[in-house]
């Protein structure tokens, strides 16, 4: 298995933290995605997110399904130098 880049790790952490904020596990996200017409299995969603190698379209689908209306990237990048 290949090592994930820092960007891939950040992407996975960001989506997982949003799931936690919404009280969703992978099955809950699967159900939420289904309501907007996206049909994936919970294990597939788990693998996709944990690899951190997902298209921005998948991120937008997850954001829509979870009801995310605004994104704050400050927390994600707060410990980095500008």
In a domain, 69, yes or no: yes
Q: Which domain holds residue 37?
A: 23-77
Total of domains in the chain? 1
Does 18 fall in a domain?
Answer: no
What does the alpha-carbon distance between residue 63 and residue 46 come to, in Å, rounded to a whole number? 15
Domain assignment present for 8: no
Question: Is residue 14 assigned to a domain?
Answer: no
Q: Tens digit of pLDDT for each residue in 40-56?
A: 999 999 999 999 999 99
Q: What is the pLDDT of residues 20-33, one digit of tens each?
A: 999 999 999 999 99
Angle (CA) 60 14 24, round 5° = 75
Instruction: Calculate ∠ Cα 79-23-28, nearest 5°.
Output: 120
Question: Is residue 43 in a domain?
Answer: yes
> Per the domain annotation, does 29 fall within a domain?
yes
pLDDT, average across residues 7-19: 93
Q: Considering the domain boundaries, does residue 40 fall inside one?
A: yes
């Amino acid at each position: 298995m290949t090592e994930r880049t820092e960007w891939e790790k950040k992407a996975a952490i960001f989506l997982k933290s949003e799931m936690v904020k919404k009280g969703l596990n992978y099955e809950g996200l699967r159900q939420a995605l289904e309501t907007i017409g996206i049909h994936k299995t919970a294990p597939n969603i788990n693998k996709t997110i944990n690899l951190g190698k997902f298209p921005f379209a998948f991120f937008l689908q997850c954001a829509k399904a979870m009801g995310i209306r605004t994104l704050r990237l400050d927390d994600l990048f707060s410990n980095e130098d500008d």
